[in-house]
Amino acid sequence: MMSQVKIKRNFRFVSATITTATSTSTTLRMEDMAGAVVEFGTITTNAATLQVWGNNTDTGTFAQLYGSDGSAANITLAPSTTNSTMYALPDAAYAVPYVKLVAATTNATATVTVVMKS
């Protein structure tokens, strides 16, 4: 017998555009989020790495995020044409209220679903 749920988590699903520029990538509000994954369907993309950029407002200049160890808060991709793939956002993404996912590869764009948990 399964135990009853003691803590109810809320989920939000956001369709996001990923491009090679912060100006055209979707802004994601992280203020009340405790976790998130980026879901790619069965697609091909030229992107091999997603960079995570952050800001304290939803407009203005975004800066590339880095962890406390000095390494870039990136997501290395292995997209598949046969299986959907999901990637957890790096810890640094939760240190700012707004983030953008930016493709680190020229001419790489994608539309993804970001599943956020509060």
Q: Which of 53, 48, 64, 47 is nearest to 28 (CA)?
A: 53
The mean pLDDT value of the chain amounts to 89
CA angle (55 as vertex; 49, 56 as ends), nearest 5? 155
* 21 membership: H or E segment, kind and range: none
Contact yes or no for 79/39 (Cβ under 8 A)? no
User: What percent of the chain shows pLDDT beyond 90?
Assistant: 65
Res 44 pLDDT > 60: no
pTM: 0.86
Res 85 pLDDT > 60: yes
Contact yes or no for 91/45 (Cβ under 8 A)? no
pLDDT-wise least confident of 83-87, 89-93, 95-99: 83-87
Distance CA 19, CA 100 (A): 10
pLDDT in tens, 97-108: 999 999 988 778
Res 111 pLDDT > 90: no
